[in-house]
């Protein structure tokens, strides 16, 4: 809830650049000695979830920021995608409730969100088909490349 309230008040350009910087930092961190040794316990994911929930409300979406934690836990391919999808749905449902409660969410926003959700389902289906053809050892590299490209786009956005 705190992140949602900050999101409403914060300038979009700053949040965009901040999200991009955090994406780039998460990839860099994962390739440090400490990042390679990172092993979050199942119980530790409660803290990770709380932090990512706050950032999700503040920055809009932080799914990629969970990547180092999910990958260090050994989640790859379908397990990674499924876990990421479940956490995203959970966080977005909470945000819908909070934003709706503070009258920040209107009918057109809900319609756009539902349309985007339908496209995400289609994208997930197509991605699953592509993922079946990708060797598991390349999966973390693909995630890193996508995160770096996304991070650079957000940081360089004007």
DSSP calls for 98-116: HHHHTT---HHHHHHHHHH
| Domain assignment present for 9 | yes
| Domain assignment present for 36 | yes
pLDDT at 110: 75
The arithmetic mean of pLDDT across residues 120-140, rounded, is 82
| Domain assignment present for 44 | yes
Range of the domain at 49: 2-105+134-156
Res 81 pLDDT > 80:
no
Mean pLDDT rounded to a whole number for the chain? 78
| Domain assignment present for 93 | yes
- The total number of structural domains that make up the chain: 1
Buried b (16+ CB within 10 A) or exposed e, 111-133: eeeeeeeeeeeeeeeeeeeebee
| Domain assignment present for 65 | yes
| Domain assignment present for 12 | yes
| Domain assignment present for 38 | yes
Name the CA dihedral angle for 131, 63, 85, 104, rounded to a multiple of 10 degrees.
-140
Res 77 pLDDT > 80:
no
CA contacts within 13 A on the Cβ side of 151: 19
| Domain assignment present for 33 | yes
pLDDT at 158: 59
């Amino acid at each position: 809830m705190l992140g949602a309230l900050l999101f409403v008040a914060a300038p979009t350009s700053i949040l965009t650049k901040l999200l991009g910087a955090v994406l780039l930092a998460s990839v860099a961190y994962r390739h440090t000695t400490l990042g390679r040794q990172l092993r979050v316990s199942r119980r530790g994911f409660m803290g990770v979830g709380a932090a990512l929930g706050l950032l999700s409300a503040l920055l809009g979406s932080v799914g990629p920021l969970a990547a180092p934690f999910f990958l260090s836990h050994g989640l790859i391919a379908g397990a990674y995608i499924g876990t990421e999808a479940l956490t995203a749905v959970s966080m977005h449902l909470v945000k819908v409730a909070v934003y709706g409660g503070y009258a920040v969410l209107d009918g057109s926003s809900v319609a756009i969100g539902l349309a985007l959700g339908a496209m995400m389902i289609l994208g997930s289906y197509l991605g699953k088909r592509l993922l079946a053809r990708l060797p598991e050892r390349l999966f973390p590299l693909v995630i890193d490349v996508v995160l770096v490209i996304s991070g650079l786009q957000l940081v360089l956005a004007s």
